[in-house]
Structure formats: C-alpha cells, structure tokens
Amino acid sequence: MKKFIIINGAMGVGKTATGKKVCDILGRSAFIDGDWCLDIHPFIGNRETKDMAINNILYMSKNYYNCSECDSVVLSWIMSINTVKKINSGLSDIDFQIYNFVLSCDKESLTDRWKKDNINDWRNDENLNNSIKSLDDFNNRTECIMINTSDLSVEMAAKKIIEKLI
C-alpha cells in the first residue's frame, strides 16, 4: 500500500527539511510543500485561498498515487486540526496508508534555527514570536505521532518518522 505522510508543526520547526530527507531515504517518493500550493503574491491567507491550497494538495496527491514510480507522498505544511481532517477526508477514496506527524521543539531550539536561517525573508522577529506562541498548540495535538526535534539533526528526525511507518 502506498504511504501518505503528513508532516505538520510550527513555522521553523524543520518540516520541509525533514520531509525532503524522508523522501531521499525512502526513495520512489514525492514531496509536496503546502506553501507551494498557496504561493500567491502578495500572500493572502483567507478561507478561499486555504481551500484552494487544500484542493491543490489533494489533486497533486491523487496524481502521485496514480504514478507507478511513486510509492510514498510526503506533505509538509503548517496545518490546523481542521485542515488535516480535510486532507484526510479528501484522500479517503484512495488506498493510501496515512500517517500524521507533528514536529515540535523547545523555544530555544526554534529560536536558534530561526536565527541561522537567513534564506527566508519572512524569518523576522514577529513571525518568530508567532511561531513560539503556536508551539503549545502543536505540542498538545493528540491525533498524530509527535516527534520532538530539539536535539535531532534533520536526518535523525527523518529516520524517526521512517521508524514509525508500518
């Protein structure tokens, strides 16, 4: 059975890097960055655009499912519980084995990673504070597999995800 791996968590916790590494290790896999599916300039984050992004994710996921060269799909994105439910529901007619992960870390690790990432111009103090505030929400999720990445390299976090796949 093909695997659909959701990697969720606060901004800057390592979702994208970890998701790409999971794909590298698994092989025969596709990576979807939810941000790509909502790449509007200027950015507008409202109900219409969020629903559009979810539809884009579902469309891509179904195409990857139908591709004989792809055994796994990894989705990385910041998602509310409701968004995860919509994606899971939208894939219910497909024979994916779905895994829901949340990456988390402590405030110090998040801040350190944030300061070292000078690639993204949105890595500013305001967004860092918002991300820190969201850590508790992600840490209290019960509908997923939690992985604390505070003391883990990207490769170690990816291997922890792969260990949980049946």
If pLDDT is split at 50, 70 and 90, which confidence band does 118 have?
low
pTM summary value: 0.95
Give me the amino acid identity at 35.
D
CATH of residue 29's domain is: 3.40.50.300
What is the structure's pLDDT at 63? 98
Give residue for tokens 């402590």: 106
Rounded Cα distance between 125 and 44, Å, is 20
Domain containing 37: what range?
A: 2-164
Please count the structural domains in the chain. 1
Tell me the per-residue pLDDT of 67-106, one tens digit each, with 9 for 90 and over: 999 999 999 999 999 999 999 999 999 999 999 999 999 9
At 33 the three-state DSSP class reads strand
